[in-house]
């Protein structure tokens, strides 16, 4: 397969690109390289003749149709998105633009390309819409996990923009016959994640001996999945997902935010005892407005029908992630410094 991966320089995107290349597929990445991108993660692919990178915006119809015309992909994995809930609360319009309008552009271009394919190639073409568990809203403490039949009930601007994109993808499938497969992944962790998300943010703060800001009572529950397992699920869905269907990609690892942050501190105490005990840096801060209390997914369908299962145990994956961030401090510290520099310039 030659797969067009939008957002391939992002956190999950680069893990997907690596896995596709390892499995002998070919990849073209389309990415705007926003602040969240980790293009350094793609450096190791640069020499491969099965890999190409296009710097472009999914909202730009000319850039998108050029990629289709030049590379003739067998499938699209659409990951490009604004992905941080806090930013969506501060500036929802960027999320509407990339996540909703950008998805509509990708669907439109995919449809035009798909219609022109000879029947044999049309048969195997897929558009994988990479979505999130957040579109289903918040669960009570004892409620059963979400299933594929759960209704959409997004509550943050981020979740609403992803839900809108999913509805567009379903509409393109139903109305135009585009072979769309939807995946709803849970909270993902691992290498190359930008230091605004919970795990790398807390790690960076603890590393520097700075306050680790835990929202509210820290008892919000998330289901956690290692990025390599998430990427494996996406490859499996590109190859085996049934058009028109959605699949929940859950890690069967529900943890409270407080438990996660304490586990990070324990690992740092072992590996970098200079600031131990790191738990003393945890501080409670005002909760995020409208903060969802619990997400959990039932992954039985993808396990049964596709044969995918998470392979990382959360504690093992988290320890490996802490170790990775410790050995890549140059990378994430450079990004933090760049951000601080931009803020200072803006303030001048």
Q: Which residues bind ligand NAD (CB under 6 A)?
A: 6-7, 9-13, 31-34, 36-37, 57-59, 79-83, 98, 102, 130, 132, 162, 185, 187-188, 194
Comparing CB distances to ligand NAD, the nearer of 83 and 195 is 83
Comparing CB distances to ligand NAD, the nearer of 199 and 306 is 199
**Which of 31, 82, 134, 196 does the annotation list as catalytic?**
134
Coil, helix or strand at residue 129: strand
In the chain, at which residue ranges do the beta strands (DSSP E only) sit? 2-6, 26-31, 51-55, 75-78, 126-132, 180-185, 187-189, 212-215, 221-226, 246-249, 254-256, 282-285
Coil, helix or strand at residue 111: helix
Strand pairing of 221-226 and 254-256?
A: antiparallel
Alpha helices (H) along 186-295: 198-207, 227-240, 257-271
* Annotation says 247 is catalytic: no
Comparing CB distances to ligand NAD, the nearer of 53 and 114 is 53
Residue appearing with tokens 């849970």: 186
* Annotation says 134 is catalytic: yes
CA angle 190, 193, 197 (to 5 degrees): 100
C-alpha distances in Å from residue 42, one per residue of 27, 52, 199, 288: 12, 10, 22, 33
- Minimum CB separation of residue 56 from ligand NAD in Å reads 7
**Which of 51, 158, 247, 295 does the annotation list as catalytic?**
158
d(CA 35, CA 196): 11
Q: Which two tokens stand for residue 176?
A: 């135009």
- Minimum CB separation of residue 8 from ligand NAD in Å reads 7
Comparing CB distances to ligand NAD, the nearer of 12 and 180 is 12
Give the contacts of 39 (CB within 8 A, at least 6 positions apart).
9, 31, 33
* Annotation says 148 is catalytic: no
- Minimum CB separation of residue 13 from ligand NAD in Å reads 5
**Which of 31, 82, 133, 292 does the annotation list as catalytic?**
133
- Minimum CB separation of residue 132 from ligand NAD in Å reads 4
Comparing CB distances to ligand NAD, the nearer of 37 and 178 is 37
- Minimum CB separation of residue 300 from ligand NAD in Å reads 18
Active site residues: 133-134, 158
């Amino acid at each position: 397969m030659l797969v067009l991966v939008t957002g391939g320089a992002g956190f999950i995107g680069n893990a997907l690109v690596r896995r596709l290349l390892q499995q002998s597929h070919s990849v073209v990445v389309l990415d705007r390289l926003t602040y969240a991108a980790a293009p350094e993660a793609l450096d190791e692919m640069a020499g491969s003749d099965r890999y190409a990178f296009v710097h472009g915006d999914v909202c730009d119809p000319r850039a998108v149709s050029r990629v289709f015309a030049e590379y003739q992909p067998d499938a699209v994995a659409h990951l490009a998105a604004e992905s941080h809930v806090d930013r969506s609360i501060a500036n929802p319009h960027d999320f509407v633009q990339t996540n909703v309008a950008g998805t509509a552009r990708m669907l439109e271009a995919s449809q035009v390309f798909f219609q022109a394919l000879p029947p044999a190639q049309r048969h195997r073409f897929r558009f994988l819409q990479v979505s999130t568990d957040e579109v289903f809203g918040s669960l009570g403490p004892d409620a059963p996990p979400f299933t594929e039949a759960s209704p959409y009930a997004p509550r943050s601007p981020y979740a609403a923009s992803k839900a809108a994109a999913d509805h567009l993808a379903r509409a393109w499938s139903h109305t135009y016959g585009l072979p769309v497969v939807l995946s709803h992944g849970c909270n993902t962790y691992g290498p190359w994640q930008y230091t605004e998300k919970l795990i790398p943010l807390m790690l960076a703060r603890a590393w520097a001996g700075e306050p680790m800001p835990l929202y509210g009572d820290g008892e919000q529950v998330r289901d956690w999945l290692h990025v390599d397992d998430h990427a494996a699920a996406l490859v499996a869905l590109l190859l085996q997902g049934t058009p028109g269907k959605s699949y929940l990609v859950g890690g069967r690892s529900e943890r409270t935010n407080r438990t996660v942050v304490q586990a990070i501190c324990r690992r740092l105490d072992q590996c970098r005892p200079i600031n131990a005990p790191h738990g003393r840096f945890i501080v409670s801060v005002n909760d995020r407005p409208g903060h969802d209390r619990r997400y959990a997914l039932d992954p039985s369908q993808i396990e049964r029908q596709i044969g995918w299962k998470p392979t990382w145990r959360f504690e093992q994956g988290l320890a490996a992630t802490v170790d990775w961030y410790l050995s890549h401090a140059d990378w994430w510290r450079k990004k933090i410094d760049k951000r601080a520099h931009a803020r200072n310039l803006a303030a001048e």
